[in-house]
Amino acid sequence: MKRRFAAVSPNRQRGISLPVALIFLTLLALAGTSATLSTNLQERMASNARSRNLAFEAAEAALKDAENTLATWRTAAFNGTGGLLVYNASRPNDATYWGDPAHWTSYRNPAQILSQVAEQPRYVAEKLPPVGAAEYYRVTVRGVGGDANAVVVLQALYTYTP
């Protein structure tokens, strides 16, 4: 016995292709939105990393400038002007103290002007108590990146033996 299939008349179609197409379009839209959000997040992270790197480079430039001029500072009076301080044991030396921008207003800028930073780096040199014949200097620098939220504070200790 042979079966015959009758052709489906246009009046009996169920219209499943439209809901299937709408489901696929919804899934594609969700995938596109997710990719866009991920890309935006990655761009912000890259921008923040660049700004932090600029702040670090600015702080390193200030350290280099301090190192180059420390020899002339050794003969200057460390009186608190221009970023030249005598060590004071009562002055804090922690992230809270050095992270406060108010402490940096009277300190020294490097000779070289840096571009692409929100604020020029500053540094301060403190003449520490001598140990024997050796002279010790602690240099603290503050670099700011492409925006004011990226701040790097570095310290270095320099020793001179006359």
pLDDT in tens, 102-115: 878 778 888 788 88
Tell me, yes or no, whether 113 lies in a domain.
yes
- Which residues form the domain of 132? 15-160
pLDDT at 79 over 60: no
In the chain, the number of structural domains is 1
Distance CA 152, CA 58 (A): 9
Model confidence at 24, in pLDDT bands (50, 70, 90)?
very high
pLDDT at 17 over 80: yes
Tell me, yes or no, whether 3 lies in a domain.
no
Alpha helices in 74-153 (DSSP H): 95-99
Residues 110, 131 contacting (CB under 8 angstroms)? no
Tell me, yes or no, whether 5 lies in a domain.
no
Tell me, yes or no, whether 67 lies in a domain.
yes
Burial of 92 (0-12, 13-18, 19+ CB in 10 A): exposed
Element (H, E) at 142: strand 134-144
Tell me, yes or no, whether 26 lies in a domain.
yes
Element (H, E) at 155: strand 151-160
Element (H, E) at 156: strand 151-160
Distance CA 56, CA 50 (A): 10
pLDDT at 101 over 70: yes
Tell me, yes or no, whether 7 lies in a domain.
no
* pLDDT in the model for residue 12: 64
Distance CA 33, CA 26 (A): 11
pLDDT at 27 over 90: yes
β-bridge mates for residue 160, sequence order:
135
* pLDDT in the model for residue 7: 59
Tell me, yes or no, whether 10 lies in a domain.
no
Q: How many CB atoms lie within 10 A of CB 132?
A: 6
Tell me, yes or no, whether 118 lies in a domain.
yes
* Helix, strand, coil percentages for the chain (3-state, nearest 5): 45, 20, 35
